[in-house]
Amino acid sequence: MGSIYCAAPVDVPADVAWDYLDRFTRAEVLPFSSSAAGRRDGEYRVITMPGGQEIRERIVTVDPARRRTSYTIAGLNGAEHHHAEMRVDVDSNGTVTLVWVTDYLPHEVAEQRAAGYAALFAELVAAVNAHKLPDRDRQRLGLEELLEPRLAHLPADAGLLEPAEGHVGTEPGAAVDADGAGPDPARDREGTVAVAAEHRARQAVDRVVGDPHRVVVAVVRDDHQHRPEDLLLGDLAVRATLVSSVGR
């Protein structure tokens, strides 16, 4: 199988780039100069060429969470198999990259069509960079940012453990191991059978209690927010969900 891989960084945020791909898959925008018109017909995106020929792209996957869509075109360029994917990637440095991968069988078709796809991809990148969200979508995304919960500036002060007020007495029939104060002479280990005896109170430990087994939870925004003031409106957030489909 031959693959045509096109990738380039874009100058817009990832949500804006994905919004364009979403509209592209619904035939709401036409970035390619070789396309005269477009429409959606059920699960197909139908593109009309300048000569009147129609290309029917069957949408296979639309994944807004991963900003990814895939589609297939039966018999495109005389190929036995065609499958394509468009997606928006974001690396650890925040760089937004537009990716378009197309697979062909036989692989010779990919070799023959590579130059044409490079020209089409350049048009796609230019269209994405020029794209702007509609006012309604920009307002929704701005509201999400304003309501995003923030981390506490300072952690709570660690304190000493103190015994609870009250009286600790004998509980009849309590099964505990007795261990009074004083030197212990050498003797055999105590057995595993519980001994009914007094349950004594323990001395408070004069040290900071650590957290050696911290659990790191990925993708949970409200992590580390456990102070009393964070109990109110901790999860209040308005999110913009961009749903879609794709093509070409």
Q: What pLDDT score does 241 carry?
A: 42
Name the more confident of 143 and 114.
114
Q: Report if residue 134 sits inside a domain.
A: yes
Q: Is the pLDDT of residue 51 over 50?
A: yes
pLDDT in tens, 173-204: 555 555 555 555 555 555 544 445 555 555 55
Q: Report if residue 66 sits inside a domain.
A: yes
Q: Report if residue 9 sits inside a domain.
A: yes
Q: Report if residue 122 sits inside a domain.
A: yes
Q: Distance between CA 82 and CA 104 in Å, rounded?
A: 5
Q: What is the mean pLDDT of residues 119-137?
A: 89
Q: What pLDDT score does 220 carry?
A: 36
Q: Is the pLDDT of residue 123 over 90?
A: yes
Would you say 17 and 10 are in contact if contact means Cβ atoms under 8 Å apart?
Answer: yes
Q: Report if residue 206 sits inside a domain.
A: no
* Arithmetic mean of pLDDT over the chain: 74
Tell me how far CA of residue 212 lies from CA of 125, 169, 199, 209, in angstroms.
Answer: 48, 33, 29, 10
Q: Report if residue 172 sits inside a domain.
A: no
Would you say 131 and 20 are in contact if contact means Cβ atoms under 8 Å apart?
Answer: yes
Record the pTM: 0.55
Q: Is the pLDDT of residue 30 over 50?
A: yes
End-to-end CA gap in the chain: 19
User: Among candidates 83, 56, 64, which has minimal Cα distance to 2?
Assistant: 83
Q: What pLDDT score does 77 carry?
A: 82
Q: Report if residue 129 sits inside a domain.
A: yes
Tell me how far CA of residue 201 lies from CA of 140, 162, 163, 171, in angstroms.
Answer: 57, 12, 8, 12
Q: Which of 11-15, 35-39, 178-182, 229-233 has the lowest mean pLDDT?
A: 229-233
- The domain in which residue 32 lies consists of 2-146
User: How many domains does the chain fold into?
Assistant: 1
The CATH number linked to 66 is 3.30.530.20
Q: Report if residue 54 sits inside a domain.
A: yes
